[in-house]
Amino acid sequence: MARLRNNPWAVLVCLCLGFFMVLLDITIVNIAIPSMIDGLKASLDQVIWVLNAYTLTYAVLLITAGRLGDRFGQRNLFTLGLAIFTLASIACGLAQDPNQLIAARVVQAVGGALLTPQTLAILTTIFPPERRGAAFGIWGGIAGLATIAGPTVGGLLVTYLDWRAIFYVNVPIGIVALIGSLLIIPDIRPGRAAGVEPVGVLLASAGLFAITFGLIEGQRFDWGTVTGFISIPLIIAAGLVLLVLFFLWDYRRPSPMVPLSLFRDRNFSLMNWVGAVLTFGMIGLFLPITIYLQSALGFSAIKAGLTLLPMSLVSMLLAPFAGRLADRISGKYILVFGLGMFALGMGIIDWRASIDSTWLTFLPGAIVAGVGLGCTFAPLATVAMRNINPRVAGAASGLLNTTRQLGGAIGSAVVGAVLQNRLAVSLHDQAVKYAAQLPPQMPSQARQRFIDAFTSAGKGGLEVGRNSSSGVANLPGLPPQVEHQIAQIAHEVFAYAFIDAMRPTLAVPILALALGAVSCLAVRSGRREAAARTEEVPEAVA
């Protein structure tokens, strides 16, 4: 066991187990929403908060958790996070009402936030700069697999077991990772009295909470008033002010919580931007496509997940090779290629989407996008962390993960708003077009109600994915065969309208990815050899 403790590759496996579990849980829950509503007798708003409570807590604590790892040891924080996450997963599975589940999800997010920054920080410490690319390649492959495989795994568990299984699946993984962390991961202490104090934590946490809350809940409140004089723009603005106050406060302290010196490294600063763009693109692309596959094409949850599975498999296989290549040549051009291919692959999927598409229709685009993702995760981490001193690796990792989370929240908000806007227009246009095909025995006022129903559904925030067109077709006083014919026409209206709305919507994240690819040309090639030679690697505590 002592030999394993000194083996960085064994440590990598253990870290990846915990990291995989946390990332899988971010996406796996989405697929279980209908089952949770039925099983817990919950409202849609309550179940949405099962998702949002996790996202908010996770994003808010990442910076603090990274700095705590610098102060108290990354292995200790990783182990503590694993234990909290695993126990909270059991509590999620045992929840008897929505409030219990939301509370357990908050605790689960605390565990996830504690362990996530430690993975990158430990890898930065135990692997020398010239070998980090290979390690980050495996780490990146796991990240890509977990992010995309969540809907597939969730669909299988919900279909053949129960929604509670999506939480119980974490328990065996968590136990194995917990044992491994205690036996294999060395107790590395950076030795720096990292700055974690109440005022800084409060300012940073409140600022991140306000920004993330505003982005997540903006669409729900139509980007306007929440209550009284409090509005979504005001909440986001308050969050930005709090973050500015945090940096002003933190900068004057002898041991800052977020060392601004990190941003003197051009590559680290650029990779924070690129990481945010990457998650902006991923969330922004997968949200409309998942709805399209299930609502417009009628795919089951499992079939929709399997349609995108080739992307994650190709990404996982390529990531280690991309990481090794980043050790030998500049990560700049690998990142440009990876982001460009990801954008191209998703562009192919958008271009080929139609009302009669099958899973084979999307296979070429999924493979191209998978190649892009596989060439992005590892070089991004390698370029970002190559010149980072291990003494502040936790802070650097916390920042990277926080900007990624914020990028995803912005992507969801922006793409959701664009999709809703375009869908409102498309639904009205398609309803007018198809009203002429309604059965002749329908009175003219019923035809107008058909059009008005779609128009109001689009303006009011259509709950896509949950029998989106069936309510529109429910016009009383008609024979069953006529109702069935209207239902078919109503579905075609929704399907064609969604495709029309999806095409320009997907252009937003695709263009963002293209911009990210171009910005990677500013990456400084090579690494600072002097910095690498003088890097102090902390010693493990016996």
Residue where one domain finishes, among candidates 213, 238, 256: 256
Alpha helices in 375-392 (DSSP H): 377-385
Q: Which of 232, 256, 280 is the last residue in one of the domains? A: 256
Does residue 231 share a domain with residue 93? no
346: nearest Cα among 366, 363, 318 = 366
Q: Which pLDDT score, from 0 to 100, does residue 531 have?
A: 42
- Are 182 and 213 found together in one domain? no
Residues 6+ apart with CB under 8 A from 228: none
Same domain for 39 and 138: yes
Residue 155 in domain: yes
| Residue 29 forms part of a structural domain | yes
Q: Is residue 438 part of a domain?
A: no
Q: What share of the chain is helix, strand, coil (3-state, %, to 5)?
A: 80, 0, 20
Q: Are the C-beta atoms of residues 296 and 503 closer than 8 Å to each other?
A: no
- Please check whether residues 274 and 387 belong to one and the same domain: yes
Q: Token pair for residue 119?
A: 């993975």
State the DSSP string of 292-317: IIIIIS---HHHHHHHHHHHHHHHHH
Q: Does a structural domain hold residue 276?
A: yes
* Domains in the chain, number: 2
Flag whether 470 is in a domain.
no
**What are the tokens at 509?**
């994240």
- Helix (H) or strand (E) holding 152, with range, is helix 132-160
Q: Are residues 219 and 326 in the same domain?
A: no
537 in a structural domain: yes
Q: What is the pLDDT of residues 455-487, one digit of tens each?
A: 666 555 444 444 444 444 455 556 666 666 777
102 and 202 fall within a common domain: no
Residues of the chain with pLDDT under 50: 461-473, 528-537, 539, 542
51 and 178 housed in the same domain? yes
Looking up residue 41, the CATH number of its domain turns out to be 1.20.1250.20
pLDDT for 429-441, tens place per residue? 887 787 777 766 6
Same domain, 103 and 244: no
Tokens of 500: 């029309």
pLDDT of residue 472: 47
Among 227, 256, 285, identify where a domain stops.
256
Q: Identify whether residues 132 and 177 lie together within a single domain.
A: yes
For residue 325, what pLDDT is reported?
A: 81
Q: Is 332:523 a contact under the CB 8 Å cutoff?
A: yes
Q: What is the C-alpha separation between 210 and 216, in angstroms, rounded?
A: 10
pLDDT (0 to 100) of residue 524: 82
Are 98 and 44 a contacting pair, CB within 8 Å? no
Say if residue 101 is in the same domain as residue 164.
yes
Residues 281 and 227 in one domain: no
Record the pTM. Answer: 0.81
Are 518 and 404 part of one and the same domain? yes
Domain holding 178, by residue range, is: 2-196+266-419+502-541
